[in-house]
Amino acid sequence: MADMALSVAEVAKLADLARIELSDEELARLAPQLDLILQSVAEVSEVAGADVAPTSHAVPMENVFREDVVRPSQSVAAALSGAPVAEDGRFRVPQILGEE
């Protein structure tokens, strides 16, 4: 594996692109840390061959869905019974975006 040696100037450029303001001390501390991360990713890339599928989890995962079945529920009046303010069969909440 080649020595990447991410420079402080390169980290400063990345921070600028990401709109992150970093002090000189932070840049000096982050450069070797980010370089180590890049080296680690490069090592994994070398080990993972074409026969290894990319994964986001160590074990297979899948969503479990259930049928969307309409069932009896509480009435609108019951749902609104604990509301501080209700109006036209809905919860009344304070205006927040200047909408009418």
**Residue 98 forms part of a structural domain:** no
pLDDT at residue 4, as a whole number: 59
CATH assignment at residue 24: 1.10.20
**Residue 62 forms part of a structural domain:** no
pTM for the whole thing? 0.46
**Residue 33 forms part of a structural domain:** yes
pLDDT at residue 100, as a whole number: 62
DSSP string, 61-96: ---------------HHHHHTT-S-EETTEE-----
Contact 79, 91 (CB under 8 A): no
Number of structural domains the chain divides into: 1
Give average pLDDT by consecutive 10-residue segment, the chain, 100 residues. 75 94 94 92 80 79 88 93 92 80
